[in-house]
Chain A
């Protein structure tokens, strides 16, 4: 966490400028923020530090506009040891019932990647959901950008440098919203577009 303190301090300062005291209990258009040009609503924001450049800390956020059934997501984030970021796609307005891509950093700076649907919990080492072996070369101590397609029919595709690298089958999902769940992490960029591998 030490190496992220300056970033969090900057984020906290900006947070003061944009007014962090707004209540999220009653969602309305005034309480939205933007990250990478995408409007979002913090769902659990007590421990979130928000700026126009980043979201940091612990909490969850949902992007305002619904998406078609198949999409491509690019997320840039930084993790501390033991922290994680979850990209939730095809979910409902509470970020439930969708596909969850959970990115974590181990004590040895390895990246762990789990993919689940709904309320499923992935046991480390369970090859049905633990994809970490495919990301063994990633240095989790540095900022990470990951590029994924998530298709409603239960298909997750990982791209590297724009090229398909790995694909995974999951249960079908049906929601239209996507968001992020942060556990002591920093997200600096989110991009969403139509699927890179439409089919």
Chain B
């Protein structure tokens, strides 16, 4: 594991030395360290500290028409060596009102799935995102195309088509069999002004896939991001997503799941922020072997304090209160704290909105 990070570090340092060479080359290294401590018995979360992600990203114009991005990451909880996250070429100049990506990238649906975990506004993964996507996000190889619709306000449509051999975290990415229906998705996103000089982005997403083994699923989601900014920071920031998935295997009955999270965050001053994330997740039609309905609900309330001395370092402390109604009919409450430190070396690319 250490060797892995050493290699990563050397690659990063070599790159950083040339990060300002006038070609538009931006190279950054990011380290995301997370610690967790259990406060109640029966927690399923391990008490530990780990490098959740160590990532090197290179982004630059390839020429006068195309841009490229390459990023690799290592994860402290995975013994799989370096993982290719993104490797794509794209352009915003070739086709008017359009942009596209060709290669491997995080699928362009929802909000969290389009961000690396170190760029999330909170520490842990919302339950609905973990269930439907992965602890971080779903990437795949293919193409997506975004078109700015010719209307008098911002409205962008994105269509994507990727291999779909696997979806989310996988251990057989190289040997997976071709899907019966490749991963395909669409997202439409618009900008809506908010009172008191705020702004919001609202997106609607659809994604579908049918695996070689006849696992057929469809996702429908809505995301909302709203910001009220001062000169440097968001005075108030709200991020929320709600997702519904219907999934069936062969002739079996479908399994429908629903969940959401909402995270408002307020600027306290002196580079401190206070936010509270509320998560909800449920299998809507969970049944026992007799076909009898089983109520099940999972909540998580996560007050989070963030300290961001600059855009290159962030420290967070969060408390998780996670009550669950289990399929056994029993209830369980998990309480744990999380700590995160993120630092960025070099020129980290800016994100949309």
Contact = CB atoms under 8 A, between A and B. Distances in A.
Interface string A57-70: 00000111111010
Interface stretch (B114-122, B162-170, B266-274): B162-170
B175 A169 contact: yes
Contacts of A64: 288-290
Interface stretch (A47-55, A81-89, A106-114, A174-182): A174-182
B289 A198 contact: no
27 contacts: A27-B289, A28-B290, A63-B289, A65-B327, A66-B283, A66-B287, A67-B327, A93-B253, A93-B291, A118-B250, A153-B170, A154-B170, A154-B172, A169-B170, A169-B171, A171-B176, A171-B211, A171-B212, A173-B213, A173-B249, A174-B215, A174-B249, A174-B255, A175-B252, A177-B289, A199-B78, A199-B169
A118 B291 contact: no
B234 interface: no
Given A27-B289, A27-B290, A63-B289, A175 B249 contact: yes
A154 B169 CA distance: 9
Nearest to A28: B290
Interface in B251-288: 252-253, 255, 283, 286-288
Contact of A66 (B169, B176, B213, B327): B327
B93 interface: no
A155 B288 CA distance: 24
- Chain A interface secondary structure, helix, strand, loop or mixed? loop
Interface in B271-322: 283, 286-291, 294
Contacts of B41: none
A92 B252 contact: yes
Q: Which of A62, A96, A154, A173 has the most CB of B within 10 A?
A: A154
A194 B250 CA distance: 26
Contact of A93 (B212, B250, B252): B252
A184 interface: no
Contacts of B211: 171-172
B247 interface: yes
Contacts of B255: 174, 176
Contacts of B97: none
Interface of B: 44, 46, 77-78, 131, 135, 166-172, 175-177, 211-215, 217, 247, 249-250, 252-253, 255, 283, 286-291, 294, 327-328
Interface residues of A, number: 36
A167 B213 contact: no
Given A28-B290, A198-B44, 19 more contacts: A64-B290, A65-B294, A65-B327, A66-B283, A66-B287, A66-B288, A66-B294, A92-B253, A93-B289, A96-B250, A97-B214, A97-B250, A118-B214, A128-B175, A169-B172, A169-B175, A172-B170, A175-B252, A194-B44
A41 B175 contact: no
A190 to B, nearest CB: 15
Interface of A: 27-29, 40-41, 62-67, 69, 92-94, 96-97, 117-118, 128, 153-155, 167, 169-177, 194, 198-199
Nearest to A155: B171
B171 A153 contact: yes
Contacts of B131: 69
Nearest to A117: B213
A41 B289 contact: yes
Contacts of B215: 172-174
